[in-house]
């Protein structure tokens, strides 16, 4: 197959390696080294996309990352499909399948182009002014139509199977941009041996000269997309998108780099000229045409008109002329263009028309001719335009660098280096004086002159927005959507600003710039997630006895990061039956429970007791060695934050337990106070959650189960005490505590020994008819005893007194966290919600947790709730339902009938003491 617009020779493509690809189902051939855009141009295809709003036919405007028009979908399969890719950056590989977007039925004939006909009705912000009647029609009628019409490409429909890699790096010098300025900066720094990273978003850059330096890491296909405080930068490296067979390699890699010094060599971007019909396929930036010729050996047209206000377009004209294009005219906006490039053009015999412009173009799917300001119509198949160059200051601006306006050259440039950051080359504004033009080309006679090509923002839209009072450039941007397309205004922002400034009658710099935001070019979402998917999305924490529980048929629940055994159903039991059996067994014989997930903090030091005095409501000074106490921790606002048993092992050593999910929060609170409020205290905190496995042995047979395996501890130890010794031969901290109301022990052993100890105890437990029980039975058992679970029976608004735990407050202590707040008027008022038991009148009916508690059976909508049900279970022990809740003034309402909301109506219940079982506590002693 021929490539009619490919030059005979030249370019950096590999002509020995033809590459077959397809676009919209049609087969083409390009060469290795082509981009999709250059290969299509070589085949004479300019029409590559449709615009967002008016569905106007569009060709390629640029040759790089700034491309607004040529957006395509590239799909390897249904899952590995990527919309909105810039054809100018899609590297060709054998078999590449690309399709155009946002058109129906085809790119050449798109019904959406009706919008173009209706364009006068669809000016900037039209949708704010209509679609309001009748009420509700926006959501039901208009919006669905608009949503359907909007959007660009199609998202993939299947989960992305590709992998994304992540790397953190430090370097002495990070260089963004591998053009001449970037490579020069690397060459200057390289001999010093500094660690250098140089990144460029092109597939190849002139890294050959750097190849000899082991201290220089060259990253092609890598975009520096974000600049964060303290010289922290994000880089996106594309690894496989250019390969015909990516294999199982990661598709992209996220680099997170902390750089001592950053050099930005991000170059400059050429600006289009704003004139009527400047968006037809075949009209492109002059520099882009030159790139297609020099890099890819492609002529963008055979009969070319150049429209410029900048000398660099002359060089492009000469190059195309020499390569065989006919450059029919150069129209220059300036009165007397001069300089060496102009002279070279004249030498080549190309006609130059000073003080000339284009005021209209013709051609439907490709430019056919242009109309000049002088009324001349010139036939052509390509127009090269140049309004000058804009330094790419995005990253500098993201780094909070201040920009200054260069009046003469009409661009913003960095005000100067920042600590650890400098700009080099064109990015710094170091561009040769070559002219330029901003704003609308004078002499226009109507017809749409586009500023933002992708979002279809015309010069008249910007002028109209200003006239409608949108005077801030941020308003203009948001009202017209200029600069908000996928190119983020790389080619449009300066013209938009100039047009707004002119309309406002203000100097351009006083209108200001919109904020440059991360990322420089769009970055794949999956890249940020990296390996954090599936199991690795969040680490799974497994208790030391997890495997045993799994083998025993446990069903698990997520509690924070932990997987906890919820119950151990046997032989076809459902959850309910399993829990009932486990509860009965614990009450009648005993149960073993893996309580290892409870948080544990070792609090050590001469001031440990004093520290706990300040962090917990309770008094710790007089707690005897070897004894335990239930501790309550409050927030500064006086509300219960966490609870747990605290044991004093020695005078200066406490073993503090916390709730499972509260552990990090409690340790953080402790550290926070220790480091910022009480630095004078000699205390050291160590999380020991994962060091100690905890096997709870609960039930009347608990002591009997332990006895054969404990020799050096007297098991007659009192309730709420702790002993150190050996259990099953393993060093242990043995607690006598109970969260079930039964005689109970908690065996703390090193996590690595947990299975061994469990096996021994389990074998013994089986002899006594005991069972393993899970968190659900634990919940029921504790509820029967009225023990609270922080986070379920409390919600961050509950005081100790609300819970009936006023006894846990060391009132004689001078201070503790939350003490002052407890005295606030709202925290001591009589009708605070108080923790009570709730017994449904129908004993079978289990209330719903979260049900609202109301005084009447049929509450009016909007009526006040007395409180809510915090916990509710079917109690096998009591053979009825039990519930706990918070009710306003609840302790004074014993015996009162209240009503609990359900999905349909209410059910009556009686307020009761929150202890349903063994109120005297006799069973604690077995």
Partner 1 sequence: MRHSLFSIVRNAIGGNRGWPAQWREAAPKPEYDIVIVGAGGHGLATAYYLAREHGISNIAVLEKGWLGGGNTGRNTTIIRSNYLWEESQKLYEHALKLWETLSQELNYNVMYSPRGVMMLAHTVHDVQSAQRHIHANRLGGIDNEWITPEQAKAFCPLLNIEANIRYPILGAALQRRGGVARHDAVAWGYARGASALGVDIIQNCEVTGIDRAPSGEVTGVQTTRGAIRARRIGVVAAGHTSVLMAMAGVRMPLESYPLQALVSEPVKPIMSCVVMSNTVHAYMSQSDKGELVIGAGTDAYTSYSQTGALHISAHTLDAICELFPAVRRMRMLRNWGGIVDVTPDRSPIIGKTPVPGLYVNCGWGTGGFKATPGSGHVFAHTLATGAPHKFNAPFTLDRFRSGRLIDEAAAAAVAH
User: Does 130 contact partner 1 by CB under 8 A?
Assistant: yes
Peptide bond into 519 cis (omega under 30): yes
Show contacts with partner 1 in window 305-364 (CB under 8 A).
Answer: none
User: Does 525 contact partner 1 by CB under 8 A?
Assistant: yes
CB proximity list for 96: less than 8 A, separation 6 or greater: 19, 21, 22, 36, 74, 90, 244
Show contacts with partner 1 in window 182-221 (CB under 8 A).
Answer: none
Nearer to partner 1, 27 or 157 (CB): 157
Show contacts with partner 1 in window 646-675 (CB under 8 A).
Answer: 659-662, 665
User: Does 128 contact partner 1 by CB under 8 A?
Assistant: yes
Show contacts with partner 1 in window 562-601 (CB under 8 A).
Answer: 566
Nearer to partner 1, 19 or 239 (CB): 239
> How many Å apart are CA 544 and CA 754, to the nearest integer?
6
> How many Å apart are CA 277 and CA 369, to the nearest integer?
11
Closest CA to 835 of 778, 782, 787, 775: 787
Nearer to partner 1, 298 or 789 (CB): 789
Smallest distance from partner 1 to CB 680, Å: 25
Closest CA to 163 of 220, 80, 225, 87: 80
**Per rule CB under 8 A, count of chain residues that contact partner 1:** 118
Which residue from 148, 214, 248, 676 is in contact with partner 1, where contact means CB under 8 A? 148
Sheet with strand 14-23: strands edge to edge: 26-32, 14-23, 96-100, 71-75, 81-86
Which residue from 109, 126, 684, 807 is in contact with partner 1, where contact means CB under 8 A? 126
User: Does 112 contact partner 1 by CB under 8 A?
Assistant: no
- Sole window of 284-292, 308-316, 557-565, 724-732 interacting with partner 1 (rule: CB under 8 A): 557-565
Query: What kind and span of H or E run contains 220?
Result: none
User: Does 121 contact partner 1 by CB under 8 A?
Assistant: yes
> How many Å apart are CA 288 and CA 386, to the nearest integer?
10
Show contacts with partner 1 in window 470-509 (CB under 8 A).
Answer: 470-472, 474-475, 478-479, 481, 484, 486, 488
CB proximity list for 862: less than 8 A, separation 6 or greater: none
Q: Rounded to whole angstroms, what are the CA distances from 560 to 241, 597, 659, 694, 722?
A: 38, 10, 11, 18, 28
User: Does 825 contact partner 1 by CB under 8 A?
Assistant: yes
Nearer to partner 1, 123 or 443 (CB): 123
Tokens representing 405 are 């306006």
User: Does 115 contact partner 1 by CB under 8 A?
Assistant: no
Q: How far is CA 706 from the centre of its chain?
A: 51
Show contacts with partner 1 in window 709-748 (CB under 8 A).
Answer: none
User: Does 560 contact partner 1 by CB under 8 A?
Assistant: yes
User: Does 162 contact partner 1 by CB under 8 A?
Assistant: yes
Which residue from 380, 457, 523, 612 is in contact with partner 1, where contact means CB under 8 A? 523
> How many Å apart are CA 57 and CA 456, to the nearest integer?
11
Tokens representing 871 are 């916990």
Show contacts with partner 1 in window 893-922 (CB under 8 A).
Answer: 901, 903
Show contacts with partner 1 in window 838-867 (CB under 8 A).
Answer: 848-852, 854, 859, 861-865
Peptide bond into 217 cis (omega under 30): no
Q: In degrees to the nearest 10, what's the CA dihedral of 505, 509, 515, 518?
A: 130
- Helices assigned H by DSSP within 297-392: 312-323, 340-347
Please tell me the number of Cα atoms within 13 Å of 494 on its side-chain side. Answer: 26
Smallest distance from partner 1 to CB 166, Å: 9
Nearer to partner 1, 109 or 228 (CB): 228
**β-pair partners for 840:** 909
Nearer to partner 1, 148 or 716 (CB): 148
> What mask of x and - would describe binding to partner 1 in positions 448 to 477, judged by CB under 8 A?
------------x---x--xxxxxx-xx--
Nearer to partner 1, 114 or 146 (CB): 146
Q: In degrees to the nearest 10, what's the CA dihedral of 40, 42, 45, 50?
A: 50
- Sole window of 334-342, 420-428, 535-543, 696-704 interacting with partner 1 (rule: CB under 8 A): 535-543
User: Does 417 contact partner 1 by CB under 8 A?
Assistant: no
> How many Å apart are CA 800 and CA 27, to the nearest integer?
76
Handedness of CA 299, 301, 302, 303 (dihedral sign): negative
Which residue from 158, 348, 374, 894 is in contact with partner 1, where contact means CB under 8 A? 158
User: Does 625 contact partner 1 by CB under 8 A?
Assistant: no
Phi/psi class of residue 543: alpha, beta or left (left: φ > 0; alpha: ψ in -120 to 50)?
Answer: beta
Closest CA to 196 of 227, 225, 174, 165: 174
Smallest distance from partner 1 to CB 258, Å: 11
Which residue from 155, 379, 766, 841 is in contact with partner 1, where contact means CB under 8 A? 155
Smallest distance from partner 1 to CB 781, Å: 15
Contact status, residue 403 vs residue 397, Cβ threshold 8 Å: yes
Which residue from 24, 160, 206, 896 is in contact with partner 1, where contact means CB under 8 A? 160
Which residue from 167, 260, 533, 570 is in contact with partner 1, where contact means CB under 8 A? 533
Show contacts with partner 1 in window 244-303 (CB under 8 A).
Answer: 256
Which residue from 18, 24, 29, 80 is in contact with partner 1, where contact means CB under 8 A? 80
Tokens representing 272 are 């289009």
Tokens representing 308 are 């410029």
Q: Rounded to whole angstroms, what are the CA distances from 234 to 218, 222, 224, 255, 401?
A: 16, 10, 6, 6, 17
Smallest distance from partner 1 to CB 478, Å: 5
Nearer to partner 1, 476 or 685 (CB): 476
- Sole window of 79-87, 544-552, 583-591, 747-755 interacting with partner 1 (rule: CB under 8 A): 79-87
Smallest distance from partner 1 to CB 27, Å: 25
């Amino acid at each position: 197959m021929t490539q009619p617009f490919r030059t005979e020779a030249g370019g950096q493509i590999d002509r020995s390696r033809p590459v077959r690809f397809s676009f919209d189902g049609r087969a083409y051939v390009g060469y290795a080294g082509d981009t999709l855009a250059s290969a299509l141009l070589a085949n004479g295809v300019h029409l590559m996309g449709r615009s967002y709003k008016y569905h106007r036919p569009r060709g390629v405007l640029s040759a790089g990352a700034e491309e607004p028009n040529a957006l395509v979908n590239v799909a390897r399969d249904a899952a590995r499909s990527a919309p909105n890719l810039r054809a100018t950056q899609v590297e060709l590989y054998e078999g590449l399948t690309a399709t155009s977007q946002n058109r129906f039925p085809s790119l050449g004939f798109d019904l959406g182009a009706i919008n173009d006909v209706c364009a006068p009705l669809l000016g900037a912000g039209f949708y704010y002014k209509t679609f309001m009647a009748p009420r509700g029609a926006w959501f039901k009628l208009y919006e669905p139509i608009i949503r359907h019409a909007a959007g660009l490409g199609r998202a993939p429909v299947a989960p992305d199977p590709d992998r994304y890699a992540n790397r953190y790096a430090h370097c002495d010098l990070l260089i963004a941009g591998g053009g001449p300025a970037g490579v020069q900066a690397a060459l200057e720094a390289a001999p010093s041996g500094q660690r250098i990273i140089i990144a460029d978003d092109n597939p190849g850059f002139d890294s050959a000269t750097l190849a000899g330096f082991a201290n220089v890491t060259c990253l092609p296909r890598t975009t520096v997309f974000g600049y964060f405080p303290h010289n922290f930068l994000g880089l996106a490296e594309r690894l496989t998108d250019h390969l015909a067979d990516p294999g199982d390699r990661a598709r992209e890699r996220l680099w997170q780099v902390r750089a001592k010094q950053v050099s930005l060599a991000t170059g400059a971007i050429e600006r289009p000229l704003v004139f009527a019909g400047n968006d037809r396929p075949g009209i492109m930036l002059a520099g882009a045409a030159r790139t297609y010729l020099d890099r890819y050996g492609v002529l963008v047209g055979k009969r070319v008109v150049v429209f410029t206000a900048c000398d660099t377009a002359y060089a492009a004209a000469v190059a195309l002329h020499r390569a065989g294009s006919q450059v029919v005219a150069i129209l220059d906006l300036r009165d007397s263009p001069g300089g060496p490039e102009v002279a070279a053009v004249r030498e080549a015999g190309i006609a130059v028309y000073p003080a000339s412009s284009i005021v209209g173009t013709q051609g439907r799917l490709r430019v056919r001719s242009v109309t000049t300001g002088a009324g001349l119509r010139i036939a052509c198949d390509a127009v090269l335009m140049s309004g000058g160059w804009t330094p790419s200051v995005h990253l500098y601006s993201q780094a909070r660098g201040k920009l200054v306006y260069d009046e003469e050259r009409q661009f913003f440039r960095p005000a100067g280096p920042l600590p650890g950051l400098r700009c080099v080359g064109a990015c710094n504004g170091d561009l040769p004086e070559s002219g330029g033009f901003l704003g609308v080309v004078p002499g226009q006679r109507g017809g749409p002159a586009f500023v933002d090509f992708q979002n279809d923002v015309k010069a008249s839209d910007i002028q109209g927005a200003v006239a409608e009072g949108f005077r801030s450039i941020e308003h203009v941007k948001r009202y017209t959507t200029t600069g908000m397309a996928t190119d983020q205004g790389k080619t449009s922002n300066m013209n938009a600003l100039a047009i707004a400034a002119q309309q406002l009658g203000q100097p351009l710099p006083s209108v200001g710039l919109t904020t440059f935001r991360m990322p420089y070019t769009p970055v794949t979402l999956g890249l940020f997630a990296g390996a954090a998917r599936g199991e690795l999305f969040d680490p799974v924490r497994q208790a030391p006895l997890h495997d045993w529980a799994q083998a025993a048929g446990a069903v698990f629940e997520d509690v924070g990061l932990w997987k906890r055994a919820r119950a151990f159903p046997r032989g076809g039991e459902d959850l309910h039956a399993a829990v009932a059996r486990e509860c009965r067994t614990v009450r009648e014989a005993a149960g073993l429970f893996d309580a290892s997930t409870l948080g544990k903090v070792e609090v050590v030091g001469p001031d440990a007791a004093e520290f706990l005095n300040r962090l917990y409501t309770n008094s710790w000074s007089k707690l005897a060695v070897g004894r335990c106490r239930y501790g309550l921790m409050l927030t500064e606002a006086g509300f219960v934050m966490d609870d747990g048993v605290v044991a004093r092992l020695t005078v200066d050593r406490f073993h503090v337990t916390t709730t499972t999910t509260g552990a990090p929060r409690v340790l953080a609170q402790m550290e926070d106070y220790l480091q910022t409020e009480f630095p004078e205290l000699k205390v050291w905190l160590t999380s020991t959650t994962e060091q100690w496995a905890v096997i709870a042995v609960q039930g009347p047979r608990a002591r009997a189960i332990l006895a054969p395996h404990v020799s050096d501890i007297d098991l007659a130890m009192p309730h709420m005490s702790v002993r150190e010794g050996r259990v099953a031969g393993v060093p242990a901290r043995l607690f006598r505590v109970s969260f079930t109301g039964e005689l109970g022990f908690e065996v703390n052993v090193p996590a690595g020994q947990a299975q061994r100890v469990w096996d021994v105890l389990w074998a013994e437990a089986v002899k006594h008819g005991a069972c393993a029980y899970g968190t659900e039975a634990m919940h029921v058992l504790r509820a029967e005893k009225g023990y609270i679970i922080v986070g379920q029976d409390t919600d961050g608004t509950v005081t100790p007194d609300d819970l009936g735990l006023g006894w846990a407050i060391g009132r004689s202590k001078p201070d503790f966290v939350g003490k002052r707040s407890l005295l606030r008027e709202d925290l001591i008022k009589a009708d605070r919600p108080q923790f009570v038991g709730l017994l449904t009148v129908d004993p079978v009916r289990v209330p719903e947790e979260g049900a609202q508690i109301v005084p009447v059976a049929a509450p009016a909508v909007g009526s006040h709730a007395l409180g809510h049900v915090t916990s509710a279970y079917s109690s096998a022990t009591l053979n009825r339902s039990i519930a706990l809740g918070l009710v306003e003034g609840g302790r004074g309402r014993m015996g009162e009938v209240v009503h609990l909301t359900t999905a349909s109506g209410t059910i009556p219940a009686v307020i009761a003491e929150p202890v349903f079982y063994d109120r005297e506590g006799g069973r604690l002693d077995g």
